[in-house]
Amino acid sequence: MNLRMPSLNKVLITGNLVDDPRTNILQSGTSVANFRIASSRSYRGRDNEWHQKTCFVDVVAWRKTAELVSSNLHKGSPVLIEGELQTSTWQAQDGSNRSRVEIQARRVQFLERRGDSGRDQKPSAGQQGPDYGKQDQPDYGDEGGGEYDDIPF
């Protein structure tokens, strides 16, 4: 009997933005926002002490979602990201091939309450944090993905 394993690529993660989102408008007019989140978890180690482990994840959002991320989020903003993993590859300035795994955001939910942002110039997304991007589909074209010349790891 030949059983086929279904294909599933789904990510659901919460975290805080490490820095302000970087937003670009491509030649096609499509908006793209790149940002990194830090997601931490606490656990009790063998020494019976509490430890914290932080994972840093790159995220890319497209179109209207990218515009909303750019105008409403900033360094430290808490978010919930729903999407899938994708691999981006590019050639660095030194000619070497580079790649990274990132989250292609399908939905971004702002978790910051109104007035908690600490910035007056950027409004927060509301008390429950609306989610954006349900209708947005990623652009899997050749554009984007080469904006990083140097990865810190």
**Mean pLDDT estimate for the chain:** 80
What are the residues whose beta carbons fall under 8 Å from the beta carbon of 48, sequence distance 6 or more? none
pLDDT digits (tens, 9 = 90+) for 10-37: 999 999 999 999 999 999 999 999 999 9
Distances from the Cα of 141 to the Cα of 9, 62, 100, angstroms: 19, 12, 17
| Residues linked to residue 11 through DSSP beta bridges, in sequence order | 83
**What CATH superfamily classification does 11-129 receive?**
Nucleic acid-binding proteins (2.40.50.140)
pLDDT digits (tens, 9 = 90+) for 66-109: 999 999 999 999 999 999 999 989 899 999 999 999 999 999 99
Q: What is the pLDDT of residue 148?
A: 43
List the domain boundaries for the chain: 11-129
pTM here is 0.70
Q: From 38, 74, 32, 85, select the one nearest 57 (Cα to Cα).
A: 38
